[in-house]
Amino acid sequence: MDSTRNLQISLILSFLFLVGGTAGYMLIEGWSLIDSLYMTVITISTVGYSEVHQMTRPGQIFTIFLVFFGVAFFLYIAGSLVQFMVEGRIRDILGRRTLNKKIEHLKNHYIICGYGRIGQVLYNHIQAHPQHDTVVVEKNPEMVSRMESDHVLYVPGDASDEEILIQAGIKRAKTLIAVLATDIDNVFLVLTARQLNPGIYIIARASNQRAKSKLLAAGANHVESPYDTGAVSMAQRILRPSVSSFLDFVFDYKLKDITIEEIPVAAGSSLANLTLKDSGIRQKFDLIVVAIKRPAGDMRFNPSFQAVINEGDTVIAMGKSENLTELEKLLKPEREKPAVR
């Protein structure tokens, strides 16, 4: 039985003891409610004050039983209360220590700063890919409770605090996503993150064009405005409803029937330096190669069957999740083992 259950039972029994003792003195001695309650309290708590009134023989016998059972019960209540407070504190400490150990083992992970509406959607999408580890930084106590219930790997605190970012593993992280409540907070966060890790890729949220320019100047690699993106999405849905429905289907992280994935071609891959025709991607995995991104950044959309897959390229393919996973094993044979979760 856990400490919370013990405490609940103790409170219920405490009430029953008080009611029973008070009723007993009222019936046996004929005392008033206050006098009976007072006598019950000082008897159970072993305070030892003198009797309120002279007691009869039945009253003395009743008091003996009340003392015998009441004292033992009072000690049980005190123990349950101490257990509840101590175990709760220990649980918090051990739980936080476990999370910190997990974060310490992460490498090339994502850090989401802010667990509001946008942060939650981002987290769910990223976690749909088990190979990507994610740490969330949030200071709102209500959101911290939400993250605990959602089993999120998180660090509580101000995301613009250097110590908090270091605790989140920013020096080993691959990407930082700044989606705090205000543009000012995001700008300060980007400045701090860029100083701690000059090579980290930073994506930030902006509410307007002015904030976007400031975030880029602060060091963000890419800035998104939900308002602009939402407006463009609405326009595309009006002008190209079928295309929008298809993209919704492809990018829905809850569906596994079809998805799009980008996979870097690592050194030593068995598919490196082969043409698409010779790679057998289409035949073996039933996948469509949408594009090949070269290391220089240029993109070859709808590449022909004679296009060559080189080391350092990024293959963008579409198909079933399990087939994409099998292709990733061939393109990234030297992939690091996923961090301990």
Does residue 9 share a domain with residue 56? yes
Q: Residue 56's domain spans which residues?
A: 3-101
Does residue 147 share a domain with residue 95? no
CATH of residue 23's domain is 1.10.287.70
**Interval 166-198: pLDDT, tens:** 999 999 999 999 999 899 999 999 999 999 999
Q: At how many degrees (to 10) do helices 241-251 and 226-239 cross?
A: 130
Q: Give the count of domains, the chain.
A: 3
Does residue 121 share a domain with residue 84? no
Six token digits for residue 150: 């959602």
Does residue 123 share a domain with residue 43? no
Judged by average pLDDT, the poorest of 9-23, 56-70, 92-106 is 92-106
Does residue 97 share a domain with residue 124? no
**Interval 29-76: pLDDT, tens:** 888 888 888 888 887 776 666 677 888 888 888 888 887 777 677 777
Q: Give a yes or no: residue 63 inside a domain.
A: yes
Domain boundary among the residues 34, 67, 101 is at 101
Does residue 214 share a domain with residue 120? yes
Domain boundary among the residues 224, 248, 265 is at 224
pLDDT category at 223 given cuts 50, 70, 90 is: very high
Does residue 143 share a domain with residue 165? yes
DSSP symbols for 253-310: TT--SSEEEEEE--TT-TTTTEEHHHHTHHHHH--EEEEEE-TTS-EEES--TT-EE-
pTM of the model: 0.57
Does residue 288 share a domain with residue 194? no
